[in-house]
Amino acid sequence: MKLVRARATGTSDWTPRMAPVDLVPRFQAQGYGAAEVARRRLWVEHKTGVRLDHVGACSIPTEQMRGNVENPIGSVQMPLGIAGPLLIRGEHARGTFYVPLATTEGALVRSYERGMVTLTRAGGATTRIEVDENRVCPAFIFGSVADAARFVEEIDGHLPALCVAAESTTRHGRLLRIEPRQVGREVIVTFCYHTGDAQGMNMIVKATERACEWLVQRGLAPSYHIFSGFSSEKRASAALLGAGKGKTVIAGACLPAALTRACLHATPEALVRTWHRAAIGHFLAGAVGCNAQFANGLTALFIACGQDVANVVNAHAGITNFELTDEGDIYASVTLPSLTVATVGGGTALGTSRECLSLLGCAGSGNAPRFAEIAAATALAGEISMAAAIASGEFVAAHEQYGRNRPAD
């Protein structure tokens, strides 16, 4: 390989190095055996002079990591707390749950626990799933606006063939419909799938690629990019709010005034005022949606339960609402339009992930909707508790009490 020098201003002092770089050892078959993982860890220790005892204290059989990680050297650990009871009256989640939350943020578990207990005393959180589909949005590029427009007109007629092509690659994914959007001389086509109990992105990207190839082979489009950037997978966007992605889940509960005063130390009026105040701040910031801390609870739950944690970025895009009822109680709800969760595939079967999903009765096939409802109810618990901490002025004190031993503060 011949290499030209980087010549841009300011980079002239760089020395391109084509001498062999020191790659991480892969070993045979990519090196997932316990011995190879240990040797690789040793290689890293040697390279860096750092002992990796905790990393090595891994109880997941390393061969099971194949397909979940490359160049494995062990596992990381994060403290796991348990919060509950959380009574849910959903369609898929019904009953009382104790929710595993993996976090290092002091007070988080205690705060969610408070919200869960409050919901439970109020008779539980009601949950519903409105939409359940995941999406891939390839872009087809044409020579002109006219050609692109023609494609938009015609593509719906090819849906049956596209379904056949797409579904030939997967046992679980079903192509539900397609939505073309023309932008200049390109057409971004949203392929909407049901993905069963998997998060399903790999599955449906592969399926969509097959469908795209079918279109190109038939001469219906000259070329495509499999990712147009429109899908908002692992990114935050305003489009997620109205259009969703993954599961759109809603959780709500009516909290009697006496209960909010007793459990949350705040009146319904104060809670609504806190929401109102936050709404103004969110508008001023150009925030995606409006919520206090969806990210906190979802992240802790996702880490515990082997979800694709980067999906928290899209999953956190949602709307919390607090309203007074005519009776002077408060109706609190959360709407999460883009909850991408799974109970099969990804990291769901690994060691602690499977145990944590099992705690919720959510391990394996048929359980993703239940898990989604539990996630939404958990988010609702967090919103209630956080708003109460702000409304009552107890926020700092609570973090003092539960996060006190941290050296940085």
Amino acid letter, 345? G
> Binder to its own copies among 29, 34, 35, 78 (CB under 8 A)?
78
Find the shortest distance in angstroms from Cβ 219 to its own copies: 12
- Residue in 88, 109, 178, 374 binding its own copies, rule: CB under 8 A: 109
Residues 20-49 that bind its own copies (CB under 8 A): 21-24, 40, 44, 47-48
164 belongs to the binding site for its own copies (CB under 8 A): no
Please identify which residue in 85, 176, 216, 265 interacts with its own copies, judged by CB under 8 A.
85
In the region spanning residues 364 to 383, those forming contacts with its own copies, defined by CB under 8 A, are none
Which of 337, 329, 341, 335 minimizes the C-alpha distance to 380?
Answer: 335
Q: Which of 178, 192, 196, 388 lies at the binding interface for its own copies (CB under 8 A)?
A: 196
Q: According to CB under 8 A, which residues from 117 to 136 bind its own copies?
A: 117, 120-124, 126-128, 130
| 260-299 residues near its own copies, rule: CB under 8 A | 262, 274, 276-296, 298-299
Q: How far is the CB of 164 from its own copies (least distance, A)?
A: 18
**In sequence order, what are the residues at sequence separation of 6 or more whose Cβ sits closer than 8 angstroms to the Cβ of residue 92?**
127, 129, 369, 370, 372, 373
**Within positions 224 to 263, which residues make up the interface with its own copies, using CB under 8 A?**
225-232, 234-243, 248, 250-259, 262
Q: Helices 294-304 & 368-392, crossing angle to 10 degrees?
A: 140
Helical pair 368-392 and 395-402, crossing angle rounded to 10 deg: 110
316 included as an active-site residue: no
Confirm if 357 and 347 have CB atoms less than 8 A apart. Answer: no
192 binds its own copies (CB under 8 A): no
Q: Please say if 399 is a catalytic residue.
A: yes
Q: Does 155 bind its own copies (CB under 8 A)?
A: no
Binding to its own copies (CB under 8 A): which residues in 300-359?
300, 303-304, 306, 308-313, 316-317, 319, 321, 323, 325-327, 329, 331, 333-335, 342, 344-347, 349-356, 358-359
- Closer CB to its own copies, residue 370 or residue 399? 399
Strand partners, 319: 290, 335
The active-site residue, picked from 105, 147, 167, 394, is: 105
Among 106, 115, 246, 369, binds its own copies (CB under 8 A): 106
Quick one: how far is CA 150 from the chain centroid? 36
Tokens of 38: 């240990």
d(CA 312, CA 378): 14
Q: Could you say which of 39, 110, 158, 194 contacts its own copies (CB under 8 A)?
A: 110
Size of the site for its own copies (CB under 8 A): 220
Report how far residue 169's alpha carbon sits from residue 319's, in angstroms, rounded to the nearest whole number. 36
Q: Which is closer to its own copies, CB of 54 or CB of 164? A: 54
How many angstroms separate the CA atoms of 77 and 357, rounded? 17
Q: Are the C-beta atoms of residues 226 and 212 closer than 8 Å to each other?
A: yes
Residue 222 near its own copies by CB under 8 A: yes
Query: Least distance to its own copies from the beta carbon of 260, Å?
Result: 11
Q: Which of 51, 157, 160, 219 binds its own copies (CB under 8 A)?
A: 51
Nearer to its own copies, 165 or 241 (CB): 241
Other Cβ atoms within 10 Å of 261 Cβ, number: 14
Query: Quick one: tokens of 144?
Result: 């002109």
Using left for φ > 0, alpha for ψ between -120 and 50, and beta otherwise, residue 90 falls in beta
CB neighbourhood size of 341 (10 A): 30
Tell me the chain's radius of gyration from C-alpha atoms: 25
Query: Which of 128, 158 has the CB closer to its own copies?
Result: 128
Whether 197 and 246 have beta carbons less than 8 Å apart is answered as no
| H/E run at residue 255 | strand 246-255
The single residue of 36, 197, 308, 329 carrying the catalytic annotation is: 308
Active site includes 53? no
Catalytic residues: 105, 308, 399
